Structure 1
């Protein structure tokens, strides 16, 4: 198996896994500013799900894609639904002397007040006049409704608040969906949907590739329909043909001593041409290139997470020599294994 110089870019499946460690893009993106407005008794799980998605977005790129700050709707610290106090970085009065962020998210919760908050309404109307993105978590949509920002629109919020919303705001359409995105409005009904709402937003703002990389990190422990809980693997994708899934599992189980395509044909019972067609049609790559990228990824993890020598890492990753491994690593990551380790530690 050879390392081809011109193939510096990972194929789709492995690019998402390795994206935080790839050379920085020449494109200098300005981070999106996000402000979370915390109401008393806000849902901690919904808030952290949303924030974790943004933080992970920054981790899968070498330059930050998002900045976020927290603001207390009343006074700081703000007490969450778990009784944990959060020291917000500011209050609503902070917006008197600074521009509004690109995205404002109202963080609600099961015990959050549904009463009108004049100062919050003023800020939301100001954000609306500037055509900024505005979101609501749990029952955060109620604050948007008080500001008149959901008239003739749909919204998602916790089922416990559906009756109140329909009674108090007849011009707002309460959706049975857990996420609603209409124009510059984004609303979700709970913690799980908060993460999904942010993923959809990130996809719109930063592209599907970033979102796939985030999902790979945050969705490793998704529970299947039969409640079988295990770490997800590339071969777990039910959309892939079973033969291809079997091949991916075989490759993953044979990193240190890679098996040849001829050996794969014997194990799986299909021809070399069929194997090549499976990889090209479903993964847009060749079996050899995928296997090399799988081993390079394995080596990158050992390199940055252990104190093993580069020679031992090369052997453990199925490379015939340290020089071969170093050349391949530099082709994909833009720097030698020793320099990559040094930069990571610093």
Structure 2
């Protein structure tokens, strides 16, 4: 009888991209709960950007690691800056009774037309949350209610540029940063929609480590635009700090999935020795070129398998495997189940 195959772990460079599809037990992982207080005329795009990070992190990681709830200040129906009414899950008054002890992070969502005047209910809520040690944050100008509550004394923060003058006049002991994002001890703030996404990525990094952030960023920032308005291709393992030679080899691998190049061919194309190439991969990716190339093809195969109706045979050929049986064995080694079982699980 053949010995059962030993499950293989993905190397560091590719592991997070596949985490959600691995059969791992994460029952002991603490669920991080985030509350979003929606003020009238809150920025919809800043709010949804922040929430999207949490939702995407749950898709990237196996199991549910983040949960969120929405809260209105005076009622459960809040009008956004787009004129769209949003029904929240609760109000800040109900939060004090039902869910306050459960939250790890509480974020006030501001916007261009949000009132800058203090709100007694909101001040009471934020002070109570601070006493419980909950991390507090603000999107756009959502840090202003924190300042009204006296929770930003001698603390640096970020806010929309239009509100800098107001902040400096009314809260002289609060350090208003020219940066779009500030993360401090139990405080987080950002100046607008783009930095809202980045703020949540940094908060996730605090909870889950920086590696998982890259996997989330691959999904949410794949179409980010450079100053010259040309798209920036964001691919597995891309890292601007890697040597150009290594990045060129990785591009060659990505462009030759269906008909993989040999290690000698890869080295020749870049005009380095095979040994030099192996050292580059070991130094910067902590793996070998052959293993990285295989995992790149397996990851591409997983996407084709779960996102198309192509036969398993066609998927294996499209990813450079010489036979369906070889592909199935490699797939099972990494994902713990056969390609057919993975597709069936996806569709169940």
TM-score (norm 2): 0.94
Q: Which residue of 2 aligns with 1:8?
A: 8
CA contact (8 A) 1:40 1:74 kept: no
CA contact (8 A) 2:218 2:236 kept: no
- Unaligned runs of 5+ residues in structure 1 are none
Q: Quote how far apart the aligned CAs of 1:75 are.
A: 2.3
Give distance in 2, aligned partners of 1:40 and 1:95: 18
CA contact (8 A) 2:137 2:189 kept: yes
1:180-225 deviation line (CA, Å, top 9, x unaligned):
1221111111111111111111111111222121111112112234
**1:88-237 aligned within 5 A:** 88-100=88-100, 101-234=103-236, 237=239
Give distance in 1, aligned partners of 2:46 and 2:12: 30
Q: Which residue of 1 aligns with 2:61?
A: 61
Give distance in 1, aligned partners of 2:310 and 2:96: 54
CA contact (8 A) 1:179 1:189 kept: yes
Q: State the Cα RMSD in Å.
A: 1.6
Give distance in 2, aligned partners of 1:235 and 1:105: 32
Give distance in 2, aligned partners of 1:232 and 1:125: 41
Q: Which residue of 2 aligns with 1:31?
A: 31
Give distance in 2, aligned partners of 1:230 and 1:143: 37
Greater shift after overlay, 239-248 or 48-57? 239-248
CA contact (8 A) 2:19 2:60 kept: yes
Q: Which residue of 1 aligns with 2:19?
A: 19
Given candidates 331, 334, 337, the residue that maps to 1:335 is: 337
Give distance in 1, aligned partners of 2:206 and 2:50: 16
Give distance in 2, aligned partners of 1:155 and 1:312: 53
CA contact (8 A) 1:73 1:91 kept: yes
CA contact (8 A) 1:235 1:249 kept: no
Judged with a 3 Å threshold, the aligned counterparts in structure 2 of structure 1 residues 75 and 99 are, in CA distance, closer, same or farther, namely: closer
Give distance in 2, aligned partners of 1:163 and 1:319: 62
Give distance in 1, aligned partners of 2:46 and 2:248: 37
Give distance in 1, aligned partners of 2:19 and 2:26: 14
Q: Quote how far apart the aligned CAs of 1:26 are.
A: 4.2
CA contact (8 A) 1:42 1:80 kept: yes
- SS of structure 2 residue aligned to 1:83: coil
1:271-313 deviation line (CA, Å, top 9, x unaligned):
1111111211222111100110011011111110111111121
Give distance in 2, aligned partners of 1:306 and 1:316: 12
Give distance in 2, aligned partners of 1:236 and 1:28: 31
Greater shift after overlay, 40-49 or 93-102? 93-102
Give distance in 2, aligned partners of 1:160 and 1:51: 24
Judged with a 3 Å threshold, the aligned counterparts in structure 2 of structure 1 residues 90 and 329 are, in CA distance, closer, same or farther, namely: same
- SS of structure 2 residue aligned to 1:134: strand
Q: Which residue of 1 aligns with 2:73?
A: 73
- Unaligned runs of 5+ residues in structure 2 are none
- SS of structure 1 residue aligned to 2:98: coil
Give distance in 1, aligned partners of 2:162 and 2:19: 40
Q: Quote how far apart the aligned CAs of 1:176 are.
A: 1.2
Q: Quote how far apart the aligned CAs of 1:235 are.
A: 7.4
TM-score (norm 1): 0.94
Give distance in 1, aligned partners of 2:176 and 2:157: 5
Give distance in 1, aligned partners of 2:173 and 2:235: 46
1:256-284 deviation line (CA, Å, top 9, x unaligned):
22111122232222111111112112221
1:72-112 deviation line (CA, Å, top 9, x unaligned):
11223211111111111112221242131221110000110
Q: Quote how far apart the aligned CAs of 1:249 are.
A: 1.8
Q: Which residue of 2 aligns with 1:247?
A: 249
CA contact (8 A) 1:16 1:216 kept: no
